[in-house]
Amino acid sequence: MTGALQDLGWSDFFAEAAEPFLQDESVQAEPGRIASVGRASYQIWTAQGLEDALLAGTLRQEAPGQQVPVIGDWVIAQRLAEAQALRIQQVLPRRTTFARAVHGGTAEQIIAANVDVVFIVTTPDQDFDLPRLGRYVAAVQVSGAEPVVLLNKSDLVQDAAWYLEQVRRLGPDLPAHQISAAQHGGLDSIQPYFTPGRTVALIGSSGVGKSTLTNRLLGQEVAATGSVRETDQQGRHTTTGRTLYRVPGGGLLIDNPGLRDIAVWDADSRSVNFEVIEELATKCRFRKCTHMTEPGCAVQRAVQKGQLDAQVLAAYHEAQGQPVRRPKKR
């Protein structure tokens, strides 16, 4: 396939998967990569550039073996002769998937696909939380991508090196870099991650500087003005933001609203544990049990048996606005 596609991340892996769909030459089908996901329309990068695309009816419902495309996906699209658009027919197998648990952990929602490297962005202030960083690193590893920690706003402190040392305690081989997106500091240290065809995604809490970094890497202000107004078939306005960017000099960058705010899903994953508490609570003696000191409390029993972490229960009480009874040390 063409070099243009390779620069977008195309490889033998996708070429092989695409072959059966590209054989019939009477159908004008070609590969493309999802750059933005709107309510009614998509944008895809093809060998021709960035183009509008629609979803084939068969893809609109999630059925077994039929996947709805997400940011970063490679798809097979058919060029419609009359319409000025491509129709997405098929989602190709994913090399990596970034998913979050939904419905209390009973299902997963794929947010991004085919990401190679994830920059976990944090700052040397109240955002800096080593256990949480550890969870993010683990989540990235599960996705199949390579985690890299970026300490942004390093201009704010004298001892940025101390923070990097802490991060390295999470794993001696975990790459960590100090940067200052606002002041263009340390950007050379992350440039090597952007090679042709390689896809980097950004995650981190709100305010750590992901938009600022995106703008720096792209050499233009895209993140603030990244959304475009569109009209769907019903004449409603939908906002779609392109979130898979080509980085000048090579590589691709994903800065996607669903992916970027990992702090939100981190909170969700705790509500998964709360669901366990609610499940246990159905076996408490009293229907209005607060799981503090009541006799016959199934939740307290689970803690005593070591089936439920006392810290999780404490967090639950905190979330309920109840006085927190921190677990006693024995």
| Binding-site residue positions for Zn(2+) | 284, 289, 291, 297
For residue 105, the minimal CB distance to ligand GTP (Å) is: 25
For residue 223, the minimal CB distance to ligand GTP (Å) is: 7
* CB closer to Zn ion out of 160 and 289: 289
* CB closer to Zn ion out of 237 and 287: 287
Pick one of 8, 112, 213, 284: the residue that binds Zn ion (CB under 5 A): 284
Question: For tokens 């439920």, what's the residue?
Answer: 308
Which of these ranges, 163-171, 200-208, 261-269, 281-289, lies near Zn ion under the rule CB under 5 A?
A: 281-289
* Mask for 289-308, x = binds Zn ion (CB under 5 A): x-x-----x-x---------
* CB closer to Zn ion out of 79 and 301: 301
What's the chain look like in SS3? Answer: CCHHHHHCCCCHHHHHHHHHHHCCCCCCEEEEEEEEECCCCEEEEECCEEEEEEECHHHHCCECCECCCCECCEEEEEECCCCCCEEEEEECCCCCEEEEEECCCCEEEEEEECCCEEEEEECCCCCCCHHHHHHHHHHHHHHCCEEEEEECCHHHCCCHHHHHHHHHCCCCCCCEEECECCCCECHHHHHHHCCCCCEEEEECCCCCCHHHHHHHHHCCCCCCCCEEEEECCCCCEEEEECCEEECCCCCEEECCHHHHCHHHHHHHHHHHHHHHHHHHHCCCCCCCCCCCCCCCCHHHHHHHCCCCCHHHHHHHHHHCCCCCCCCCCC
Annotated binding residues: 152-155, 204-212, 284, 289, 291, 297
Element (H, E) at 252: strand 252-254
Residue 256 sits in the site that holds ligand GTP (CB under 6 A): no
* CB closer to Zn ion out of 246 and 291: 291
Pick one of 97, 180, 240, 300: the residue that binds ligand GTP (CB under 6 A): 180
For residue 292, the minimal CB distance to Zn ion (Å) is: 8
Looking at the DSSP bridge assignments, the partners of residue 245 are 253
Residue 117 sits in the site that holds ligand GTP (CB under 6 A): no
Residue 178 sits in the site that holds ligand GTP (CB under 6 A): no
Q: What are phi and psi of 44, to 5 degrees?
A: -130, 145
* CB closer to ligand GTP out of 153 and 291: 153
Residue 177 sits in the site that holds ligand GTP (CB under 6 A): no
Residues 258-287 that bind ligand GTP (CB under 6 A): 260
* Mask for 200-219, x = binds ligand GTP (CB under 6 A): ------xxxxxxx-------
Residue 198 sits in the site that holds Zn ion (CB under 5 A): no
Looking at the DSSP bridge assignments, the partners of residue 30 are 77
Residue 188 sits in the site that holds ligand GTP (CB under 6 A): no
* Token code pair at residue 58: 């068969």
Residue 120 sits in the site that holds Zn ion (CB under 5 A): no
Residue 229 near residue 173, CB atoms below 8 Å: no
195 binds, among Zn ion, ligand GTP, none (CB under 5 to 8 A by kind): none
Residue 220 sits in the site that holds ligand GTP (CB under 6 A): no
**Ramachandran assignment for 16, one of left (phi > 0), alpha (psi -120 to 50 degrees), beta (any other):** alpha
Annotated binding residues for GTP: 152-155, 204-212
Number of residues near ligand GTP (by CB under 6 A): 16
List residues binding Zn ion (CB under 5 A): 284, 289, 291, 297, 299
List residues binding ligand GTP (CB under 6 A): 152-153, 155-156, 180-183, 206-212, 260
